[in-house]
Structure 1
Amino acid sequence: MLSQIRPNPVGMPFRAQVLLITLGLLCGLGFYSGESAAAQGIAQYGKPKYAEGFAHFEYANPNAPKGGTLTLPNPDRRTSFDKFNPFTLRGVTAPGIGALMFESLAVGSADEVSSVYGLIAEDIQVAPDKMSVSFRIRPEAQFSDGSPILASDVKHSFDTLMSKLANPQYRTIYADVKQAVVVSERVIRFDFKTRNSELPLMVGGLPIFSKNWGVKTDGSVTAFDKITFEHPIGSGPYVIESFRAGKSMIYKRNPNYWGNKVNVRVGFYNFDRIVYKLYSDDAVRLEAFKAGEFDALVEYRAKNWAKSYVGPKFNNGTLIKKAFANHNGAGMQGFAMNLRRPIFQDVRVRKALGYALDFQWLNRQLFFDQYGRINSYYTNSDLSANYRGETVPTEAELKLLKPLQAKYPQHVPEAVFGAMPPPPSTEAPSSLRNNLRKARELLAEAGWTYRDGALRNSKGEIFRFEIVEDGPFFMRILSAYVRNLEKLGIKVEIRTSDYALHQKRMDDYDFDMTTIRFPDTQSPGNELYDRFGSAAAKERGSDNVIGVQSPVVDALIDAIVKAETREQLQAATRSLDRVLWNSYFVVPHWYNPTHRIAFRKEMGYPNPPLYYSAESWILSTWWLQEARK
């Protein structure tokens, strides 16, 4: 993984779904009609890697033994849960619900970019004008209660998620989808408002649930936003066996799961039971792993990996630690400022705060030199403006940026037309002292000067803000950062809370600064509207926690979504990268191009794919060796 921060999908159901499918994009083929030819796999650029009729994904083991129990700890920062419905805004969802109980019409392949393959759908076709897409549902596809998955269920899922009863992220992401139309019992068509080659992918990744979920035995219906602990009638390979509220969650394999023989699921979901145990903090979780309470643990803290994964069980091979390489883009992680706060609306202030983070000291003293510095919103990817070094914009990038500068000069920093500036460094000949001097100059230009023991504006108001986190494990890093900020006369308070309260504050944008991590992707698209779009900044619970509201950013997201070639996508994404990076919305952190995983020797695993998250890889394609069954 990329840092010490664990992924954070709780309360953000669409993001979890997007991570499963954004590795592939969809292209336009012929519209489904009668008996005309259709394809399971399609690609936005060129041809998909896997030919029609392929047996299984190469990164899955078709001979993986089935059976046994996989026991895992908290997959993220949640330490409890209060609902089974992952699609509503309020509350914290039980771990594993989204991944194990809901399938989608189509899924992406983790060893290629820009392809997608049917799962619930046996074939997919896009209309010649690319203004609609149709999916034909497999006749064997069924829900956990044994009822068939029909086009009416797909429409119900879409309409429900687009309603005000669901998380508002769905309305942002699917804003360009006009409607879902039932063509026949097993054919569903989605009509679009605009021509957007990514929309077929996005609707293909829609999680599908039964229209009977929430229907009581007396025929009355529970409103979707009131569904909490009613067991989902889902389309996935597992069902709920039992749970202890806030403590543990146990799933069992659905013996009638319809997808076992579908090629995109061969070698997947190999355990009979999956158990999640929730621990109060990282230290307790690690000790529980050493004691044999669960089977695998993904580590995000460099110090723990270097110092704590030791002992007799590691020495004798009972427990194994291994760093698995990946080719994921690093995404963006850092201390994000809430632009809704007046104190952060001056770009000079935001830039100054970046000079106070001494990454080189942190890497040396706390991280055991395991990290590289993030230098882009798409670090470690060909989508980064820094991909070939600190180069100036290409002609293709200038073609996008110059008209936008002419129309919105205040939203296009002049720096975007130069080389991407590196993040501040304290490597010689630079130093923390020099960086803080630069920060003080920028703050003075913005009207903040040091007097009477603090940094103050012309009204005498002290520059102060609060950093909020959902746990104490980041305190050493925060303390070092705050010490440097205090040298500038800035007053900072650090406030930690439990996950549920922290998530509510994020949903309400009730914070000054916090740690964010935007997931990596090889093919960005519609999710950017939710992450950086102006409309999302005003929508409670969106991914735009920063509060970016820029017509230039909106226009560049449009260009990304409408790109018809990989080259156009690169130019648009690199242009967006330049604008975001030079706007200094985030104090960038660090990344590691490996996944650090510790596991019991009985665990088996295939060769990892190119692009993957550690938790989902373990959950979906690992298995238990025969010896322990």
Structure 2
Amino acid sequence: MSKKSSLLSAANFDRRQTLLMMGGSAVAATAGASASMSLADSHSAEADIIRSHGYSFFGDLKYPADFAHFDYVNPNAPKGGEITLSARGTFDGFNRWAWRGNPQTNASVVGESLMARPVWGTPVPADSLTDSYCLIAREVEYPADKTWCVFHMRDDVVFRDGSPVRAQDAAFTFNLFLEQGIRSWSRAVSQRVTGVEVIDDMTLRYTFAEDISRRSLIDQVGGMIVLSEEWYKETGERLDEPSVLSPMGTGPYQVGDYEFNRYVVYERNPNYWGWDHPVNVGRHNFDRIRIEYFSDATAEFEGFKAGEYTFRAEGSSKRWATGYDFPALDSGDVKKESIPDQTPPLNAGVIFNTLRAPVDNRDVRHALSLAFNFEWTRESLEFDLTTQRNSFAQDQEWEAKGPPEGAELELLTSLGDVVPPELLTEPAVMPHSSDPSRTSDRRNQRAALRILRDAGWTVDDRGRMVDENGNQMSLSFLVLSTWDDTRKATIETYVNTLRDWGIRVNAQAVDSAQGQLRFRDKDYDMIYTQIQTFSGVGTGLKQTFGSETAEVSSWNPSALRSPLVDAIIEAALDATSREEEIAALTALDRALRYERVIAHAGYIPEDWIAYYDMFERPDDLPPLGIGVLDFWWFNQEKYEALKASGALR
């Protein structure tokens, strides 16, 4: 229900429209003298070469080349201490990118990229949507037309075993991710990145396809993790196979102690090279980050009350309203805060898998959406704490309102017959309203039955919703046993309404491992989960909403395949100004709502957190994340006081 709720993962507290940061390409990497002509010669025919400490598509970096640290951090934050968080479910390894198994959610924190990327979920920087800054690379070089880019790497970066990082490692990782990595990413990148070339040990060049948008090319390859080629050769590890080994990366944290399905500790990397880098000043302040695993939501919350973990992001409105009355909170040992959330809320709700009949039919999806009673859910299950979500871009400048006009209308009109005529003249699709006094709204039921009848579904004399051949509509709703009681109750109420309409629904809960497998395989008709929001244009939009990778992309739980949406994304990628970008994003929001792939649930315009009073943070938080694991710090004196009082063990 919360903007912060983590539906298929845990210990993830900040988010952004940024999508898959990892990947590779099946293009060859050449090295050393075999790269033939010198870098200068290869650029001799190019004009308007840009060389910079960072990258922004529109060229408007916030921080200059000599910046000392990000504005929102405390550069004098003390280092030390431990913060403990929670997760539900299980884990069986540390290869975050395996196609099978149930890897630890945060296992990719051991690695870094040429440009700084989110480590614990907080954007880097957390005060700009459009900027990327060099990290393993010291500079990025590219022509004005962005047909290629060159990364000039630092010579002081080492992996956690102390071995130096070379351009060959970056090229190796790039190829590895395409050959063995996430299929949707590999497919997209191989069509956009035509080559990666090792110029020398510290210089790497990427070339890009012609006649494609220049969006998300440089920041995409720059945001890809860099892992050790030698480590993979020595261990024989594969990226697509589960593993108990943690990949060899360069990051500030490494896997320390762990016990599968019980806990994992990420500890400070003693060989970390980058403590004084401007990107890192004031960040990565904890010595240890521990994650405790619990079997269910009740055990998890009881563990927090008992001090088994020390920071909690609350996702249950019921628990936030009624559960925080335990002694440690009353005494002030635990702090409870609501922090205004300035980012777009995640698009949580009942999502329909458009690969599977009958929810491959837009009208059927519309009818089934009418069974969701947000008003009853808010009053009966969410303590009136949630707000109705209207849009995929809720409360943002690019939220579609009313009929299209101005630049948005011009864009939609330019797309031709792929745009339904009503999209040009009618207001954006809005959520239905429902009677809060009962779980099923009779007015909405009558409307839904009319829509279903027109789509070929009627109620027979046995009260079953059947097609023209007498086959009852049957739906599979994927539910995880580890989900909290509020979400389960919301699903149960919705499912019972569908059953009252004569629809057979299987909503038996499964464990987290089976749930992850079914989620990846899209083995469901409906699921209560989330679709990423968006604040800018990038090729990640194709992975989240595009047809080409719909069947394999885990970022597209609806498996949406819409020529309309595809055309808008292509137009968005060609935007040359932020104004054009806003118009395209508004059109995208309008089109997604038209497709009716989700029955939107409510959202909370705040982040709810509770923690034992031994952590501190900057007074002014950045707009894109709370950053508890990124730029908060530990207060030793407060910790000692909590120990002395018995609040902590």
The TM-score normalised by the length of structure 1 is 0.90
For the 8 Å contact 1:509–1:545, the answer to whether it is kept is yes
What is the alpha-carbon distance in structure 2 between the residues aligned to residue 161 and residue 623 of structure 1? 34
Tell me the residue number matched to 1:399: 410
- TM-superposed CA distance for 1:427, in Å, is 6.0
Tell me the residue number matched to 1:25: none
- Unpaired runs of 5+ residues, structure 1, are 23-29
User: One-letter code of the match for 2:442?
Assistant: R
- Unpaired runs of 5+ residues, structure 2, are 23-39, 118-123, 641-649
Tell me the residue number matched to 1:440: 449
What is the alpha-carbon distance in structure 2 between the residues aligned to residue 33 and residue 289 of structure 1? 58
Distance 1:305 1:428, change over 3 A: closer
Alignment of 1:242-321 (within 5 A): 242-321=257-336
Give the share of equivalent positions with the same residue, in percent.
Answer: 31
Aligned partner (choices 224, 232, 241) of residue 239 of structure 2:
224
User: Structure 1 residues 111-120 or 167-176, which shifts more?
Assistant: 167-176
1:443-500 residue CA offsets vs partner (Å, 9 max, x unmatched): 1111211222111221111122121111252221012212322332222221211111
Secondary structure in 2 matching 1:559? helix
Distance 1:603 1:173, change over 3 A: farther
Tell me the residue number matched to 2:218: 200
Is 1:42 equivalent to 2:55 in the alignment?
yes
For the 8 Å contact 2:140–2:150, the answer to whether it is kept is yes
For the 8 Å contact 1:295–1:603, the answer to whether it is kept is no
Aligned partner (choices 459, 467, 487) of residue 457 of structure 1:
467
What is the alpha-carbon distance in structure 1 between the residues aligned to residue 342 and residue 628 of structure 2? 17
User: One-letter code of the match for 2:432?
Assistant: P
What is the alpha-carbon distance in structure 2 between the residues aligned to residue 340 and residue 155 of structure 1? 36
What is the alpha-carbon distance in structure 2 between the residues aligned to residue 377 and residue 519 of structure 1? 9
What is the alpha-carbon distance in structure 2 between the residues aligned to residue 86 and residue 419 of structure 1? 42
Alignment of 1:581-600 (within 5 A): 581-600=593-612
Distance 1:17 1:357, change over 3 A: closer
What is the alpha-carbon distance in structure 2 between the residues aligned to residue 477 and residue 422 of structure 1? 21
Tell me the residue number matched to 1:558: 570
For the 8 Å contact 1:604–1:624, the answer to whether it is kept is yes
Alignment of 1:125-274 (within 5 A): 125-163=141-179, 165-174=180-189, 175-193=191-209, 194-216=212-234, 221-226=236-241, 228-274=243-289
- TM-superposed CA distance for 1:222, in Å, is 3.4
For the 8 Å contact 1:533–1:553, the answer to whether it is kept is yes
- TM-superposed CA distance for 1:413, in Å, is 6.3
For the 8 Å contact 2:68–2:278, the answer to whether it is kept is yes
What is the alpha-carbon distance in structure 1 between the residues aligned to residue 355 and residue 295 of structure 2? 32
What is the alpha-carbon distance in structure 2 between the residues aligned to residue 354 and residue 37 of structure 1? 50
What is the alpha-carbon distance in structure 2 between the residues aligned to residue 248 and residue 562 of structure 1? 46
Q: CA RMSD in A?
A: 2.7
What is the alpha-carbon distance in structure 1 between the residues aligned to residue 43 and residue 581 of structure 2? 31
Is 1:421 equivalent to 2:390 in the alignment?
no
- TM-superposed CA distance for 1:435, in Å, is 1.5
Is 1:478 equivalent to 2:491 in the alignment?
yes
What is the alpha-carbon distance in structure 2 between the residues aligned to residue 504 and residue 608 of structure 1? 40
For the 8 Å contact 1:124–1:133, the answer to whether it is kept is yes
Is 1:51 equivalent to 2:59 in the alignment?
no
What is the alpha-carbon distance in structure 2 between the residues aligned to residue 499 and residue 596 of structure 1? 24
For the 8 Å contact 2:389–2:600, the answer to whether it is kept is yes
Tell me the residue number matched to 1:328: 343
Tell me the residue number matched to 2:78: 65
For the 8 Å contact 1:17–1:207, the answer to whether it is kept is no
- TM-superposed CA distance for 1:31, in Å, is 12
Distance 1:121 1:607, change over 3 A: farther
What is the alpha-carbon distance in structure 1 between the residues aligned to residue 21 and residue 515 of structure 2? 27
- TM-superposed CA distance for 1:583, in Å, is 1.3
- TM-superposed CA distance for 1:50, in Å, is 1.5
What is the alpha-carbon distance in structure 2 between the residues aligned to residue 242 and residue 332 of structure 1? 35
What is the alpha-carbon distance in structure 2 between the residues aligned to residue 19 and residue 309 of structure 1? 34
1:25-59 residue CA offsets vs partner (Å, 9 max, x unmatched): xxxxx99969x873213322352222221111112
For the 8 Å contact 1:413–1:583, the answer to whether it is kept is no
Distance 1:304 1:129, change over 3 A: same
What is the alpha-carbon distance in structure 2 between the residues aligned to residue 211 and residue 113 of structure 1? 32
Aligned partner (choices 71, 80, 94) of residue 90 of structure 2:
80
For the 8 Å contact 2:472–2:504, the answer to whether it is kept is yes
- TM-superposed CA distance for 1:209, in Å, is 0.9
What is the alpha-carbon distance in structure 1 between the residues aligned to residue 275 and residue 446 of structure 2? 62
- TM-superposed CA distance for 1:552, in Å, is 2.2
For the 8 Å contact 1:328–1:610, the answer to whether it is kept is no
Distance 1:16 1:166, change over 3 A: farther
Secondary structure in 1 matching 2:313? strand
1:293-343 residue CA offsets vs partner (Å, 9 max, x unmatched): 111011101001111111211111101110111211123222111112121
What is the alpha-carbon distance in structure 2 between the residues aligned to residue 67 and residue 2 of structure 1? 31
1:119-156 residue CA offsets vs partner (Å, 9 max, x unmatched): 11111222232111221112221111111211111101
What is the alpha-carbon distance in structure 2 between the residues aligned to residue 31 and residue 353 of structure 1? 62
Q: How many residue pairs align between the two structures?
A: 601
Aligned partner (choices 635, 641, 647) of residue 625 of structure 1:
635
What is the alpha-carbon distance in structure 1 between the residues aligned to residue 158 and residue 203 of structure 2? 15
Distance 1:16 1:249, change over 3 A: farther
For the 8 Å contact 1:17–1:206, the answer to whether it is kept is no
- TM-superposed CA distance for 1:260, in Å, is 0.6
- TM-superposed CA distance for 1:104, in Å, is 4.5
User: One-letter code of the match for 1:261?
Assistant: D
Distance 1:3 1:236, change over 3 A: same
Secondary structure in 2 matching 1:225? coil
Distance 1:592 1:32, change over 3 A: farther
What is the alpha-carbon distance in structure 1 between the residues aligned to residue 174 and residue 477 of structure 2? 37
Alignment of 1:353-372 (within 5 A): 353-372=368-387
- TM-superposed CA distance for 1:286, in Å, is 0.8
Tell me the residue number matched to 1:534: 547
- TM-superposed CA distance for 1:429, in Å, is 13
User: Structure 1 residues 187-196 or 38-47, which shifts more?
Assistant: 38-47
Tell me the residue number matched to 1:114: 130
The TM-score normalised by the length of structure 2 is 0.87
Tell me the residue number matched to 1:504: 517
1:266-301 residue CA offsets vs partner (Å, 9 max, x unmatched): 111111112111111111111111111111011101
Alignment of 1:482-497 (within 5 A): 482-497=495-510
User: One-letter code of the match for 1:475?
Assistant: K
Distance 1:483 1:542, change over 3 A: closer
Distance 1:420 1:399, change over 3 A: same
Is 1:549 equivalent to 2:561 in the alignment?
yes
1:342-370 residue CA offsets vs partner (Å, 9 max, x unmatched): 21122221111111111111111111111
Is 1:577 equivalent to 2:592 in the alignment?
no
Distance 1:155 1:227, change over 3 A: farther
For the 8 Å contact 2:17–2:536, the answer to whether it is kept is no
Aligned partner (choices 79, 90, 108) of residue 100 of structure 2:
90
1:491-516 residue CA offsets vs partner (Å, 9 max, x unmatched): 22212111111111111111111122
- TM-superposed CA distance for 1:169, in Å, is 3.2
For the 8 Å contact 1:31–1:128, the answer to whether it is kept is no
Secondary structure in 2 matching 1:179? strand
What is the alpha-carbon distance in structure 1 between the residues aligned to residue 42 and residue 443 of structure 2? 64
User: One-letter code of the match for 1:281?
Assistant: D
